[in-house]
Amino acid sequence: MSVLTPATQVPWAVSSPFRMRPGLARLASAHDTRDAAPPLFVRDPQASAYAEHKRVSLQQHRARCQIGEADPAVLQAIAAAYERQTGIVIAPEADALAQGLQEDFVILNDEPEGEAVARTTMRTRFLSVCFPSNWAPAEKLGLDFAAIHAPVADNALLQAGGQGIVDMAFRQASMLRHVWLLTPNGDLAQHPETRRTRWEDAVAQADSTGQRLIDQVFFRVERQTTLPLPALRRGVFFIRVMVCPLTEALAVSPGRAGELREALLSMSEAVVAYRGMAAVRERLCAELGAVGS
């Protein structure tokens, strides 16, 4: 189920050397009217297509798309924030928000950390995630920042800044970051239990047709934003997935092939393995080098 975003509208978040880092930027406040200030939500002409894909996902795989219990007050706050920004009214219900927002969302509760009542931690208590990037939402329920990011390769920078990230992004101000991926499949929903095009399939397709591997690859970006709700002792994490063919993303600017090649070359072996690209990185870099030459 692919919905491709025009490459010119997909953020180019590639930089080198590649590092697993927070990369947070402050969003516009609820009453900020600056045109240049990044918004909490992104709504585009593909909204109806996203809604239909989410409807199908919820109908076919609800148990793995929506996990936990949603706080009605938080759902109301999400709906209110969306109406303030877009002027569009969505019922403050889990299904209505899941389909009305192009973003997936996760609700975190600010709770006592064990027996240390004076200390609190944010834990995931509801996930509405129809478009995961090869991770299972059900496995993240009840986890805090450190536990969520424990499987991430080269996560030292993320873990070291974990407390500050949580305080800033979920207790103080709305924040923005981008995470980019290369995938051999353009579907929005990439649950690990779903059989879809794998890297070996893309290689076989390229070899059988005489095409380049990069012609089979998609550029996938997660636009991640946060909504602190300190009065409710809650926070919300939004994930907007955007996908386009890699070659179209590269064509937006003549320097992009070289930038991506340098980023891939600078990835540690652990990151390459974590992203499942161990068998294809060398070939991708060679083809990107040819594009840039």
pLDDT tens sequence across 83-104: 999 999 999 999 999 999 999 9
Q: Is the pLDDT of residue 35 over 60?
A: no
Confidence of residue 162 (pLDDT cuts 50, 70, 90): confident
The CA dihedral of 154, 157, 159, 165, to the nearest 10 degrees, is -140
| Residue 164 pLDDT | 87
Please answer whether residues 194 and 12 qualify as being in contact, where contact means their C-beta atoms are separated by less than 8 angstroms.
Answer: no
Q: Is the pLDDT of residue 128 over 60?
A: yes
Residue 68 belongs to some domain of the structure: yes
Number of domains making up the chain = 1
Task: Give the mean pLDDT of the chain.
Answer: 92
Confidence of residue 34 (pLDDT cuts 50, 70, 90): low
Segments forming the whole domain that contains residue 168: 7-197+218-249
Q: Is the pLDDT of residue 219 over 60?
A: yes
**Cα 15 → chain centroid:** 17
Residue 152 belongs to some domain of the structure: yes
Across 273-277, average pLDDT: 93
Residue 127 belongs to some domain of the structure: yes
Place of tokens 């109301």: 76
| Residue 102 pLDDT | 98
| Dihedral sign of CA atoms 195, 200, 202, 206 in order | negative
pLDDT > 70 fraction of the chain, expressed in percent and rounded: 94
Angle 130-136-141 from CA coordinates, rounded to 5°: 95
pLDDT > 90 fraction of the chain, expressed in percent and rounded: 79
Residue 121 belongs to some domain of the structure: yes
| Residue 37 pLDDT | 72
Residue 16 belongs to some domain of the structure: yes
In the sheet that holds 234-245, the strands lie side by side as 25-26, 175-183, 218-229, 234-245, 104-113, 116-128, 66-68
The tens digit of pLDDT for each residue in 239-265 reads 999 999 999 999 999 999 999 999 999
Confidence of residue 31 (pLDDT cuts 50, 70, 90): low
Q: How far apart are the first and last CA of the chain?
A: 35
Instruction: Give the per-residue SS3 of the chain.
Output: CECCCCHHHCCCCCCCCCCCCCCCEECCCCCCCCCCCCCCCCCCCCHHHHHHHHHHHHHHHHHHHEEECCCHHHHHHHHHHHHHHHCCCCCCCHHHHHHHCCCEEEEEEEEEECCEEEEEEEEEEEEECCCCECCCHHHHCCCCHHHHHCCCCCCHHHHHCHHHHHHHHHHHCCEEEEEEEEECCCECCECCCCCCCCHHHHHHHHHHHCCCHHHHCEEEEEEEEEEEEHHHCEEEEEEEEEEEEHHHHHHCCCCHHHHHHHHHHHCCHHHHHHCCCCCCHHHHHHHHHHHHC
| Residue 293 pLDDT | 61
Across 206-226, average pLDDT: 96
| Residue 118 pLDDT | 60
| Residue 77 pLDDT | 98
Q: Is the pLDDT of residue 113 over 80?
A: no
Residue 270 belongs to some domain of the structure: no
Q: Is the pLDDT of residue 29 over 70?
A: no
Residue 206 belongs to some domain of the structure: no
Instruction: Give the per-residue SS3 of 273-287.
Output: HHCCCCCCHHHHHHH
Place of tokens 């949603």: 70
Residue 291 belongs to some domain of the structure: no
